[in-house]
Amino acid sequence: MTDTIDISTPAGRRRARKELVWEDHGFLRARFRNLHQISPEMWRANQPSPEQIARYKQELGIRTILNLRGVSTKGYYLLEKEACERHGIDLIDFKVYSRDTMTPEAISEAKRLFETIRYPALMHCKSGADRAGIMAVLYMHFRQGKPIREATEQLSFKYLHVEAGKTGVLDHFFKVYLRDGEPAGLSFMDWVQTAYDGPALKQEFLREWRGKLNLDRLLRRE
């Protein structure tokens, strides 16, 4: 049975706050929000606290928050959900993964969301680097009309995204389109719907990543 936190009780609220601050590393985000405005209507950030959500509403006029971590029973999510309800913000839970490829269905749903949510909006994951990064690329392409090659700037160290690790699969996803889809004359969505193979793309990335890792180890030994 799931141990559900009841934030309507003092004990439950204390536990939720403890989970947010310590278990979810909210203390690190108290001052550094990795907050960036990427268009006149869209912001990206790391996991917000209830206090930060209140400021986003007041200072930025945020009407929608895209939670890229998905629904959770953890304190950080329960407090976020409550804060959004209190401030009249639409909370949309759309789970994205930082070390896996998106399905064609998820990419189509992301496109639909960007076309229908209320703006101004803010999207976030835990750190604001990887899941927020791939969704920011899709937003810039689908909503702002940026070419994929230009939109991939959203996946960079400027936002604390590191391509060298397993999160590099997100970069590889777009690189494969630019390598195979764009030269074939396919739009990004045409490629996603007709030629994209997520599992195969991930396996290709892992083979290359492990090869580079083994080479790095060899060079260090020498």
Q: Confirm whether pTM is higher than 0.85.
A: yes
pLDDT at 24: 79
Residue 144 resides in a domain: yes
Question: Domain limits at 136?
Answer: 10-157
Residue 208 resides in a domain: no
3-state secondary structure of 76: helix
Could you say which DSSP state residue 180 is in?
I
- From CA 181, how far away is CA 177, in angstroms rounded? 5
Considering 7-16, 26-35, 185-194, 211-220, the range whose residues carry the highest mean pLDDT is: 185-194
Bridging pattern class, strands 36-39 and 64-67: unpaired
Quick one: how many helices (H) and strands (E) in the chain?
A: 10, 5
Calculate mean pLDDT across residues 21-30.
Answer: 84
CATH number, domain of 108, equals 3.90.190.10
Number of domains in the chain: 1
Q: Are 48 and 36 in contact (CB under 8 A)?
A: no
Residue 51 resides in a domain: yes
